[in-house]
Chain A
């Protein structure tokens, strides 16, 4: 195997630059046509939204349509901005693979029978149809308990591929808070679709 040890390689012909196996390097620039794989890096994002108020409806699954906020206490921030929320519908501004995580805190339920569930619900037709694809479930006796679930999504259609969250309380409530992450969701963009 041949090896060239060198400090500097300069263009032999003025204005031509240096080509290495098809990659043109010239005047401190790399031709954009030779650059691949950068998209993932510059569009990585990690965003959280938390419930600001407790959800108290009992019985069948209920959409969470309000009360989401970006956590904003000391040091808290979101990294990137590929996901936005309106009326409980989470929309993507860039296609790609996303990991969706959900943490639910249930409390004040009836001892021994208190189920609290948070569902990740997806749609590929802007919610003409939908599917609860993952659930975090906890059963607690009044003092609070948390549960976690996650899913990886392939978002290829920004108009129709969307996410929302539903909850179910057997009794008690799913807790929200404006000062602390208790029930919240996290969207992490993993890379291009």
Chain B
């Protein structure tokens, strides 16, 4: 006769150990370890935990003050995670130092830039996404958002958007920074401590 236990919840007895059921570890809403799912057309081996789904990493950094320096210059300061009502991030998050962004783990990431720019007449203000695979011994300008100043004689307020996918395989050397380029005197890339105006977004899409 088959044995049967009637119970509403099965929880771990030993803190941090989870519950192992005939070889399958279940812990903190995840099925852990490597398991094989048998099927008529083959098997699927999982190499990491199955989680409840969703992004492992989603992080946003914003300019906290206006950027007005003319010319081509890296954005090296006044970058912070927004801390307003409900604003947050998922996972470990990016590490930022002097404008250089380091990734928390290897994987594919979607990097997007949303730029709020007041461009003077005839300016074409740019924020470039710059990548490196050798910790900025060399670099590559891989993506750009540009806002043009129209010819009305006044500053135009516009937002622009750009995004790119990168494959991060070496967190020590694969990094990102952003550069304000072709900025004419009088053009403003807007930043604020109270509202996201110009933002840099990072989403981890999956493992590399």
Task: List the interface of chain A (C-beta within 8 A of B).
Answer: 1-13, 16-18, 20, 25-32, 35, 37-38, 40-41, 44, 46-48, 71, 73-80, 101, 103, 105, 107, 111-112, 138-148, 179-182, 186
Q: How far is the CA of A18 from the CA of B132 in the complex (A)?
A: 51
| Inter-chain contacts of B24 with A (CB < 8 A) | 25, 28-30
Is A147 a contact of B160 with CB atoms below 8 Å? yes
Known: A76-B142, A77-B165, A145-B146. Contact between A29 and B35, CB under 8 A? yes
Is A2 a contact of B133 with CB atoms below 8 Å? no
Taking each of B19, B108, B164, which has the highest tally of chain A beta carbons within 10 Å of its own beta carbon? Answer: B164
Known: A5-B11, A30-B37, A76-B131. Contact between A44 and B163, CB under 8 A? no
| Inter-chain contacts of A80 with B (CB < 8 A) | 206
Is B161 a contact of A75 with CB atoms below 8 Å? no
Chain B 152-168 interface 0/1 with A at a Cβ cutoff of 8 Å (1 = within)? 10000010111111111
| Inter-chain contacts of A79 with B (CB < 8 A) | 108, 110, 165, 167, 205-206
| Inter-chain contacts of A18 with B (CB < 8 A) | 21-22
| Inter-chain contacts of A8 with B (CB < 8 A) | 19-21
Taking the complex as formed, is B99 at the interface, i.e. its CB lies under 8 A from any CB of chain A? no
B144 to chain A, nearest CB (A): 6
**Across the two chains, which residue of chain B brings its CB closest to A70?**
B165
A32 to chain B, nearest CB (A): 4
Is B19 a contact of A145 with CB atoms below 8 Å? no
Known: A30-B37, A75-B168, A76-B165. Contact between A2 and B6, CB under 8 A? yes
Q: List 8 A-B contacts (CB under 8 A).
A: A5-B12, A7-B13, A48-B165, A74-B132, A74-B140, A77-B166, A78-B165, A145-B147
A33 to chain B, nearest CB (A): 9
Q: How far is the CA of A182 from the CA of B176 in the complex (A)?
A: 18
Q: Which of B11, B14, B22 contacts A10 (CB 8 A)?
A: B22
Q: How far is the CA of A34 from the CA of B10 in the complex (A)?
A: 19
Interface size on B, residues (CB 8 A): 67
- Which 7 A-B pairs have CB atoms at the shortest separation, nearest pair first? A143-B124, A28-B23, A74-B140, A145-B148, A140-B148, A77-B167, A75-B166
Taking each of B165, B168, B206, which has the highest tally of chain A beta carbons within 10 Å of its own beta carbon? Answer: B165
Is B167 a contact of A105 with CB atoms below 8 Å? no
Taking the complex as formed, is B77 at the interface, i.e. its CB lies under 8 A from any CB of chain A? no
| Inter-chain contacts of A138 with B (CB < 8 A) | 148
Is A32 a contact of B22 with CB atoms below 8 Å? no
Q: How far is the CA of A37 from the CA of B54 in the complex (A)?
A: 12
Q: How far is the CA of A69 from the CA of B187 in the complex (A)?
A: 33
Q: How far is the CA of A6 from the CA of B110 in the complex (A)?
A: 41
Is B163 a contact of A26 with CB atoms below 8 Å? no
Q: How far is the CA of A6 from the CA of B22 in the complex (A)?
A: 13
| Inter-chain contacts of B158 with A (CB < 8 A) | 145
A72 to chain B, nearest CB (A): 10
Taking the complex as formed, is B86 at the interface, i.e. its CB lies under 8 A from any CB of chain A? no
Q: How far is the CA of A18 from the CA of B12 in the complex (A)?
A: 17
Taking the complex as formed, is B50 at the interface, i.e. its CB lies under 8 A from any CB of chain A? yes
| Inter-chain contacts of A9 with B (CB < 8 A) | 10, 19-22
Q: How far is the CA of A85 from the CA of B166 in the complex (A)?
A: 20
Is A7 a contact of B142 with CB atoms below 8 Å? no
